Structure 1
Amino acid sequence: MSSLTPTLETIPLALMTLYYADRTEQVDAWCTTLLEAARERNIPTWDALLSSLRAANLVRLGRLLEAEKDSELALSRMSSQGWGLSIGMPLASSVFALTAMGRYDEARARLSRPVPEAVFETLFGQHYLYARGCFHLATGRLQAALGDFLACGKALNSWGVGDTTLIPWRTAVAEARLRLGEQDQAVTYLREELARHKGCPRVHGNALRLLASTMEPRRRLRALQEAVDELQDSGDNLLLAHALGDLGRVYHLLGQSNRARVIVRRAYRMAKKCHAEPLAQNLLPDAERAADGRSCTAGHEASEQAHDVLSEAELRVAALAAEGHTNREIARRLFITVSTVEQHMTRILRKLNLSRRDELPQGLNSMGGSAARAVSGARG
């Protein structure tokens, strides 16, 4: 699949197979390579199809701004007649990304674009229904959202498609029902989703996140910790930001305010990176943003001190701990044992004269490289 020599149908089908298998990194790499070839040869049809596929994949990675740009590019490269029934896919990616970014007027304009009625008899149409449901959910039209999600599920079931890793409509139905106050019905959908998709961290982790909201605080904490672990493995930074925000709130509810602030700030940074403004604003109220601004100078000085006294290995651990990662998460990311992490943390706190890890300065991820670069350095 290194060139555009196969038939027009072959490459999109292969990429869609990878996409539905959650092989997001492979899809991104192939789309990027093939798009370069399409543009070199000035083949707008290929440009449109590959941009649409990449946009759908970028949505799953939480790269919303890029997803919207690729969707817009795909729609501009081919007429509605040229797209035919497959127009549902780029429109779905565009509507979902614009909605998650809080650009509701633009999402509404996308939804006003006419689509063939027959599109709803295709898988492309179900992606469109799901995205439209997400728009309705975000803008408070809960019954409309529920109707779209249920219609999507009905179509997929009628085709014998029980695998909702394709489109997680059951989780979406549950979220709508939770917001409508129909908790028992929501739990039924979530438990079915969890039973079906134990091997898919993206779907399973998000369903577990929502199910956690129905539990008492202690059980909710354990469920959200598990959901965060799964979503970190999924590559979906938008869902991970949601889960971290929920986890921070339950820590606050349990009286662990410092731990809560660390985790919520991490969720906030992730939401901002995704350009998910509604989520970011919900995570960090005005008062806390002002407090962050006042502490910026002091935090930078503390970061410089840490950079001076900690070893490279300790800095890598400290940077991830400051972002709210647990010892187990740090061990997995840095390819070391939990015991080694614990030893590093003991030395870090002693050298910085701190009593708790949530006192670690937040500027560590900008001193000598980010935590992500630290992980890269640890690997090799």
Structure 2
Amino acid sequence: MLTERTSELARLSESLADCERGRGRVVLIGGGLATGKTALLEALGDLVGDRATLLRAVGSRAERDLRLGVVTQLLAGAEPRVRDRITRLTDAPLDVRALEEIGELLLSGEHPLVLAVDDVHFADPASQQVLLYLHRRIASARVLLVLTEWERPNLAREALHAALARQPDQRIDLKPLSPGGVAELIEDDGDRATTAFALTGGNPLLLNALVEDGLAVGPKFRRAVLDCLTRWDPDFLAVAEASTILGDSATPALVAELLSMSPRAVGPVLDALGTAGLAREHRLRHPDVLLESLKPDESARLHARAAELLHRRGAPAVEIARHLTAAGEVPGRWAMRPLRYAAEQSLVDDAELAVGCLELALRACEDERERVELRAALIRAAWRINPSIAARHLGPLADRQDLRWREAIPVVRLRLWQGDTAAELLRTTRTHGKPHPRAAAELRIAAEWIHGGLADESPLATDETSWGRTSHLMETWAKGNPGEALRAAEHVLQSCAGDVLPEAASAAVLALDHTGQVERARHWCEVLTAQARRQGATTTRALITAVRADMSWRRGDLVAAETQAQEAMRLLHPQSWGVLVGLPLSTLILVNSALGRHDVATELLARPVPDEMAGTTFGLRHLHATGRHGLATGRTLAALDAFERVAARMRRPDPALPTTVPWRSDLAQTYLLLGRRKEARELVVEQLSGASGGLRVRAIALRVLAACSDPRQRIAVLREAIQLLERCGDRLELARSLADLSQAHSELGQLSNARLVLRKADQMAKACQAEVLPHRLRDSLDTRQQSKPAREGTPLLSDAERKVAELAARGQTNREIGRRLYITVSTVEQHLTRVYRKLNVRKRTELPAELSRLNDDEEHRSDPPRTPAPTSG
């Protein structure tokens, strides 16, 4: 059964029954392009069966000059003598006698007769005249005449066709399928049905092709669309192509002007396309199919013509520019202004269009001053997509001495990205005036984030109070002034709507994170990433993703850090990153070293990086990651070389270089491994005496200080480090500090405490999926977990104390524990007091989640104390 054609079939069946009773009927089936008229005739054949004689024919534009071609098709199955008579008649005038003879041939059968002619509007005039003769004489005959025609609103029929279509006994109008009919046909009433209807408009031909392509736009669907448009008048395809080229601007008048046609001829064609479900509001549902089928030269011609027409009508510059860039040419001097306006307007939301407009304008521009402006704007726009594209246009502007600030800023940004401070360019540009306060502040923050302090700050100095203070973000961060750094960072980020300077925004986010504003930093990362994705700003998105990876690393979330760093490297090719490639690359090296994937880390270290990166802060990050990998793989001297080179750079007087990596602690840890205990202690004491670095750097320094200290002092120092790490949320460093604390307890003979803390360190390390515990500690932990609890002696904790301690360690309150164990809150408090005293802990968060019965005898069987040594990263 045809979908949504039940009532139409019923009407055909009713007409067939009248025919059998001797009442002839004429049925006219109309509908738009490919709306199922032929399929309905096929269903008519099933209805007729043996009830009547069925003769069929199809009209064709190609056979319109073939006299009596449709009649010949109807009688194709007749006896040879009948076919011979028809052949003779084709050469004779079609007078009354000839019509009577043909009518006799068609109506001479004894059974009811059904004549079905598809596409009667394409039938040759002689055949239409014969059908009209039968039309007028079948009222009392056992004949059913079924004709189909294409619905053409507002287009006049030819005379014979109009006479045939006048006053049929049944008029069946076929419409495209409804959304419900589409869902029924594809047997899906969800999103797939919605998409299918949006693509086809319910047109059965297109829908069947879409189903054959797996409900996706494939070759059969594309072919079906073109077939629909080429089966009728040639104007249909031309109008469809013009409408597609004009897009949202398409109107009958504009399409007509683009094709040099009459609006009266275009309007009905657009209506017919809409009736067939091919178009909606004068726009095709599947424009890509037509655009791909257009020859390039014809497409360029239509786009150039469309741009000119829209310019005359005062259309928006962006709309005109889209046609100009599609045409790939500037048809006249008039086109330069809309190209430049469109580039400026689309820079934020459509950088690719801005680049296309500027490249086109640059090719056509002959004025040297204007070429400088266009090239600078092109660098600014292309940088948002890919810095490598922007670099292609840098050469002619790199050493110019006459750049104004609007032209100089994108050039300076790109040179900073390449590792150059652009100091001379900044000085010469300053002679042409002062930069905008915001631009100066953001550019200074970006330069100091990449290179550290500027040798000459005067070119970017500003008298504007708020932005003047904000420009010192890196300096206040480096000096450990969290309040002022927070204010400056928020000022930058809250001003970043639209065309944000991502280097300055990245520095501001990291400043928030390093000064303890973790949630604010995460919030701004989400805002900036969403904005970059919405605007298609790939470079910004890659940079913020790399910043997120660095933040995840410092929280000990190694899986997230690796995923984000890889995503950042995927968004931009390493060559496009310039010197900033050190940011995601160093994160990947650190993560893989911590995860024990030393081969991967070695491969990452072998990747080529720009030579200029060595003089930037990202070179320091990369060098620091090199040292950490050396420690992780036991190459202590290689680590020493890397850390000492970092120290040499960090010890230079640079007020704008924050301590974002724990270089003193890592160098001190390397000294310890080499037996240089005094130098190690001096380094960490130096770190602890300053205010820079934040909680995490201070906690790491305390961990190394503990390794330099007397065993009895070590526990207090490590507990302070653990408290700081719990506040800043670095699970990786927390696991390392817990492992060191376990070792300190063991050295003092506090073996039960050592075991409890070691288990917690192991849990934390597993959460990070990192290799944190030294092998001897991990082996000791595995041995103790596998051994059976001793049966002799008195347990360190009673059964009641152990049950209370286990529930407390899982985060339950005293009241919840009391209800669970059916004891009073006071009893819970008493049990916990004894547990804390026996296990030498101060609060429930220091209790491990699993507590086994600890036996006094077990302490005597534990490992003897060992020489202190810091756990390495």
- Candidates 308, 319, 326, aligned match of 2:810: 319
- Report how far residue 358 of structure 1 moved: 7.8
Which residue of the partner structure matches residue 371 of structure 1? none
What does residue 285 of structure 1 align with? 778
- Partner of 2:554, secondary structure, is helix
> Closer, same or farther in 2 for the Cα pair 1:252/1:315, shift >3 Å?
closer
Q: What per-residue deviation string (whole Å, max 9, x for no partner) do you get for residues 143-192 of structure 1?
A: 22112112112223325148763222111111111111111111111110
Contact 2:668–2:679, Cα closer than 8 Å, also in 1: yes
Residues 759 and 781 in structure 2, CA contact (< 8 A), matched pair in contact too: no
Residue 458 (structure 2) aligns with: none
Amino acid at match of 1:54: R
- Indicate if the aligned counterparts of 2:660 and 2:693 stay in contact, CA closer than 8 A: no
Offset, 1:122 = 0.8
Pair 1:157–1:214, CA change in 2 (3 A)? closer
1:6 aligned partner: 499
2:582 paired with 1:84: no
SS in 2 for 1:114: coil
1:112 aligned to which of 597, 602, 606: 606
Once the two structures are superposed, the pairs formed by residues 1-380 of structure 1 within 5 Å of their partners are: 1=493, 5-9=498-502, 10-158=504-652, 160-161=654-655, 165-197=659-691, 200-277=694-771, 279-280=772-773, 282=775, 284-286=777-779, 288-289=781-782, 291-292=784-785, 317-319=808-810, 344-348=828-832, 356-357=838-839, 362-363=849-850
Give the structure-2-normalised TM-score: 0.35
Aligned residues: 332
- Listed as ranges, the gaps of 5+ residues in structure 2 are 1-492, 790-798, 815-824, 842-846, 852-873
> Is 258-267 or 218-227 further displaced after alignment?
218-227
Please provide the CA RMSD for this pair: 3.5
Gaps of 5+ in 1: 297-304, 322-329, 331-340, 365-380
User: Is the CA contact (8 Å cut-off) linking 2:759 and 2:848 kept in structure 1?
Assistant: no
> Do the aligned partners of residues 212 and 361 (structure 1) sit closer, same or farther apart at CA in structure 2, a change above 3 Å counting?
closer
**TM-score normalised by L of structure 1:** 0.76
Q: Which moved more, 1:2-11 or 1:115-124?
A: 2-11
* Cα distance in 2, alignment partners of residues 108 and 361 from structure 1: 36
| CA deviation vs aligned residue, 1:294-334 (integer Å, no higher than 9, x gap) | 779xxxxxxxx98xx86xxx88744369xxxxxxxx9xxxx
> Any conservation in 1 of the 2:732–2:768 contact (CA below 8 Å)?
yes
Q: Is contact 2:542–2:569 with CA below 8 Å preserved after alignment? A: yes
Q: How far is the alpha carbon of 1:273 from its aligned partner?
A: 0.8
Secondary structure, counterpart of 2:563 in structure 1: helix
- Give the partner amino acid of 1:292: Q
Equivalent residue letter for 2:563: K
Structure 1 CA distance for aligned equivalents of residues 703 and 619 of structure 2: 27
Residues 95 and 110 of structure 1 are in contact (CA less than 8 Å); yes or no, is this contact kept in structure 2? yes
Q: Once the two structures are superposed, what CA deviation does each residue of 1:238-289 show, in whole Å capped at 9, x if it has no partner?
A: 1111111111111111121111111111111111111112x14647534532
CA distance 1:136–1:86, shift in 2 (3 Å): same
Partner of 2:456: none
Contact map agreement 1:164 1:170 (CA 8 A) in 2: no
**Contact kept? 2:760, 2:848, Cα under 8 Å:** no
For residue 42 of structure 1, report the CA deviation from its aligned partner.
Answer: 4.5
CA separation in 2, counterparts of 1:162 and 1:179? 32
Q: 1:357 to 1:184 in 2, by over 3 A?
A: closer
Question: Which residue pairs with 2:166 in the alignment?
Answer: none
CA distance, structure 2, for counterparts of residue 294 and residue 68 of structure 1:
37
Structure 2 counterpart of 1:299: none
Seen in structure 2, the aligned counterparts of structure 1 residues 243 and 361 have a Cα distance that, compared at 3 Å, is closer
Q: Cα offset for 1:80? A: 2.2
Q: What code does the residue aligned with 2:778 have?
A: P
Distance 1:26 1:282, change over 3 A: farther
Task: Report if aligned partners of 1:165, 1:197 keep a CA contact under 8 Å in 2.
Answer: no
TM-superposed deviation, 1:113: 0.8
Shift of 1:135: 0.6
Report the 3-state secondary structure (helix = DSSP H, G, I; strand = E; otherwise coil) of the residue aligned with 1:362.
coil
Instruction: Note if contact 1:4-1:38 (Cα within 8 Å) is conserved in structure 2.
Output: no
Residues 82-128 of structure 1 deviation map (CA, whole Å, 9 limit, x = unaligned)? 21111111111111111111111111111111001110111111111
Q: 1:194 to 1:348 in 2, by over 3 A?
A: closer
Shift in alpha-carbon separation, 1:229–1:206, aligned structure 2, 3 A: same
Alpha carbons 2:661, 2:697 under 8 Å: kept: no
1:199-220 per-position Cα deviation (integer Å, ceiling 9, x unaligned):
8321222111111112221111
Aligned residue identity for 1:59: W
Given that 1:318 and 1:348 are in contact with CA atoms closer than 8 Å, whether structure 2 keeps it comes out as no
**d(CA) in 2 for partners of 1:232 and 1:132?**
27
Higher relative contact order (CA 8 A, sep 6+): 1
Structure 1 residue 67, shift from structure 2 partner: 0.6
Identify if the C-alpha distance between structure 1 residues 164 and 105 changes in structure 2 by more than 3 Å, giving closer, same or farther. same
Distance change >3 Å, CA 222–CA 358, structure 1 → 2: closer
What's the % identity of the aligned pairs? Answer: 33
Q: 1-side partners of 2:540 and 2:658: how far apart?
A: 28
SS of the residue 1:210 aligns to: helix
Q: Alpha-carbon deviations, 1:7-37, whole Å to 9, x = none? A: 2334223223224434333323322343344
Structure 2 distance, partners of 1:22, 1:124, is 22
CA shift in 2, pair 1:165/1:317, >3 Å: farther
Query: Could you say if the C-alpha distance between residues 291 and 28 of structure 1 is closer, same or farther in structure 2, counting changes exceeding 3 Å?
Result: same
Contact 2:806 2:850 in 1 (8 A): no
Is the 8 Å Cα contact of residues 515 and 694 (structure 2) preserved in structure 1?
no
- Note if contact 1:241-1:267 (Cα within 8 Å) is conserved in structure 2: yes
- The one-letter amino acid paired with 2:768 is C
CA distance in 1, matches of 2:646, 2:573: 26
Q: Is the 8 A contact 1:267 1:283 kept in 2?
A: no
Aligned to 2:102: none
Q: Distance in 1 between matches of 2:827 and 2:617?
A: 52
Q: Could you list the per-position Cα deviations for residues 37-84 of structure 1 after superposition, in whole angstroms to 9, with x for gaps in the alignment?
A: 434554432221111000111111011121111111111110123211
Distance 2:564 2:702 in 1: 31
Q: Which range moves more in the overlay, 174-183 or 44-53?
A: 44-53
Bigger share in strand: 2
CA contact (8 A) 1:24 1:61 kept: no
Higher helix fraction (1 or 2): 1
Distance 1:130 1:236 in 2: 18
The answer to whether the Cα contact below 8 Å between 2:558 and 2:591 also exists between their aligned partners in 1 is yes
